[in-house]
């Protein structure tokens, strides 16, 4: 249309060769008038680089997933990458939290095949729980970064530090003078549950305080069990001065159990949570809890990935990010006693 060769148009488009002003203008006018758009598919056919990265999520409806995706997107945008999303939708497929994910190898293969077919430059896998995954992503010759989970074999990972933050939080509570602790842990067998408990126990051990085993119970991560468990902890004469629930949903259960027993928070019993979840946003008093670096996990995952794509970074790295403690009034400001 402009009376020039396709090569000339390509050079105008990319500025990869000197072009006379006359020609450039002519070509640019035609481009505007016709609304021409370059076909990225054809482009990456030659270059074998798509500037596309695949995000493979176990389930997009799980609260942390969109936050992480958002973080990935921010860096991707900045670095000129685009993302293609594959959603395994495991929440609606999986029977139990502990069902072996290998049962979904086929689904994963299908999605990975398609991402590889799209010539993605790399893949970020976002888990629904933080746990170790068996080798499920077949080698497509491109780097893979795991986020909110970590691989048994090849691949990097980005997670947050469950143990450390609970160690800190517990330390803070000890400093406030609390001595008789109750813990409502997560689901038996869940890794973050174990790590958080470990952080707690480490702080207690260092403080030289023995925690009676009947004060450390499991709450199954949910409101109902959290409430029941809190009931058990509080319905004794020597009930804990503070209950550390390992997530906010259970902490809400603790609030309700306390209210039921006529106990005031934080005067009679203090409470802490974990997650900084919507569910506990407006309970009163404000819950002391832990904010996870979800967006930041996305940043780091994407940065790690691009560094591996460009070969600047080695393949097997694990990044563990710190969490932030959110203050609140569910613990006495002036300290205990």
- Interacting residues with a copy of itself (CB under 8 A): 35, 37-42, 44-45, 50, 55, 59-61, 65-67, 69-70, 73-74, 77, 82-87, 89, 113-114, 116-119, 138-140, 223, 249, 252-253, 256, 277-279, 281-282, 284
Distinct helix (H) and strand (E) counts, the chain: 10, 14
Residue for token digits 């959110």?
326
Interface residues for DNA in 226-255 (CB under 7 A)?
none
Kindly tell me which residue out of 15, 32, 35, 37 binds DNA, with binding defined by CB under 7 A: 37
Instruction: Dump strand ranges (E) for the chain.
Output: 52-57, 82-87, 122-126, 132-133, 144-147, 150-151, 156-160, 181-185, 216-218, 242-245, 270-272, 289-291, 318-321, 324-326
Q: Does residue number 32 form part of the binding site for DNA (CB under 7 A)? A: no
Q: Which does 201 bind (CB under 5 to 8 A by kind): a copy of itself, DNA, none?
A: none
Kindly tell me which residue out of 22, 32, 237, 282 binds DNA, with binding defined by CB under 7 A: 22
Which 8-state DSSP code applies to residue 154?
Answer: S
Task: Name the residue nearer to a copy of itself (CB basis): 101 or 204.
Answer: 101
Q: Does residue number 14 form part of the binding site for DNA (CB under 7 A)? A: yes
Q: Does residue number 11 form part of the binding site for DNA (CB under 7 A)? A: yes
Q: Does residue number 261 form part of the binding site for DNA (CB under 7 A)? A: no
Task: Name the residue nearer to a copy of itself (CB basis): 20 or 48.
Answer: 48
Task: Name the residue nearer to a copy of itself (CB basis): 89 or 131.
Answer: 89
Dist. CA 53–CA 263, nearest whole Å? 52
Identify whether the C-beta of residue 234 lies closer than 8 Å to the C-beta of residue 263. yes
Task: Name the residue nearer to DNA (CB basis): 45 or 132.
Answer: 45
Work out the number of other CB atoms within 10 angstroms of the CB of residue 75.
17
Q: What are phi and psi of 272, to 5 degrees?
A: -130, 155
Identify whether the C-beta of residue 192 lies closer than 8 Å to the C-beta of residue 186. yes
Dist. CA 104–CA 134, nearest whole Å? 12
Binding footprint of DNA, residue count (CB under 7 A): 27
Q: Does residue number 284 form part of the binding site for DNA (CB under 7 A)? A: no
Dist. CA 58–CA 152, nearest whole Å? 17
Q: What's the min distance (Å) between Cβ of 47 and a copy of itself? A: 11
Q: What's the min distance (Å) between Cβ of 216 and DNA? A: 56
Q: Does residue number 333 form part of the binding site for DNA (CB under 7 A)? A: no
Lookup: tokens for 273: 């949570």
- Piece of 44-52, 139-147, 190-198, 277-285 that binds DNA (CB under 7 A): 44-52
């Amino acid at each position: 249309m402009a009376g020039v060769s396709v090569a000339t148009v390509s050079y105008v488009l990319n500025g990869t060769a000197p072009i006379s002003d006359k020609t450039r203008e002519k070509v640019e006018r035609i481009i505007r008038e016709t609304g021409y758009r370059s076909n990225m598919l054809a482009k990456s056919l030659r270059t074998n680089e798509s500037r596309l990265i695949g995000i493979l999520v176990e389930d997009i409806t799980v609260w942390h997933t969109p936050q992480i995706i958002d973080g990935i997107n921010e860096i991707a945008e900045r670095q000129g990458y685009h993302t293609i999303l594959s959603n395994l939708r495991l929440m609606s497929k999986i029977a139990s939290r502990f069902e072996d994910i290998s049962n979904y190898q086929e689904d994963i293969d299908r999605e990975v095949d398609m991402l590889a077919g799209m010539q993605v430059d790399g893949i970020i896998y976002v888990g629904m729980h933080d746990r170790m995954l068996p080798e499920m992503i077949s080698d497509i010759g491109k780097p893979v970064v795991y986020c909110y989970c970590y691989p048994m074999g090849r691949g990097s990972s980005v997670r947050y530090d469950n143990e450390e933050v609970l160690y800190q939080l517990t330390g803070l509570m000890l400093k406030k003078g609390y001595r008789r602790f109750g813990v409502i842990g997560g689901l038996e067998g869940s890794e973050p549950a174990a790590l958080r408990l470990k952080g707690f126990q480490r702080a207690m051990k260092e403080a030289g305080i023995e925690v009676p085993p009947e004060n450390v119970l499991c709450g199954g991560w949910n409101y109902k069990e959290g409430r029941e468990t809190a009931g058990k902890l509080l319905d004794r004469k020597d009930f804990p001065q503070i209950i550390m629930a390992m997530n906010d949903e259970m902490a809400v259960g603790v609030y309700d159990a306390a209210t039921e027993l006529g106990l005031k928070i934080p005067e009679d019993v203090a409470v802490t949570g974990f997650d900084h979840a919507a569910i506990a946003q407006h309970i009163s008093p404000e819950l002391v809890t832990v904010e996870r670096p979800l967006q930041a996990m996305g940043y780091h995952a994407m940065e790690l990935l691009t560094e591996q794509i460009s070969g600047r970074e080695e393949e097997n790295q694990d990044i563990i990010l710190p969490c932030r403690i959110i203050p609140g009034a569910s613990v006495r400001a002036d300290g205990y006693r």
